[in-house]
Amino acid sequence: MISRVCQTTRKVWRVWAKALGDKSGNSDKEADWIALIRTFIFIQLVVTNCFIVAGNIRHWNDHHVPPSYMPVKKVAQ
């Protein structure tokens, strides 16, 4: 059972590493480190993109001008 999980994990890791780009490095160990770095960069890009999208959604209608038929509340000074 455990060996089957390890084999599946290895297959998934290899597919993920190939999806990140060409195999780089002189050995499998070096290629795995490069794939880890690429994974970190990918996660960083996705998280950054999520923050940008969330900020755009949050401030979507900040500069809303009410229609002329709606009364405008005056702010007391």
The pLDDT tens digits for 19-41 are: 888 888 888 889 889 999 999 99
Q: Percent of the chain, pLDDT > 90? A: 39
Domain boundaries defined on the chain: 18-57
Q: What pLDDT is attached to residue 77? A: 65
Q: Which is it for the CA torsion 61, 64, 69, 75, positive or negative?
A: positive
Tokens of 26: 């002189």
Report pTM.
Answer: 0.66
Q: Percent of the chain, pLDDT > 70? A: 91
8 Å CB contact between 59 and 51: no
57 to 48, 49, 65: CA distances (angstroms): 14, 12, 18
8 Å CB contact between 38 and 21: yes
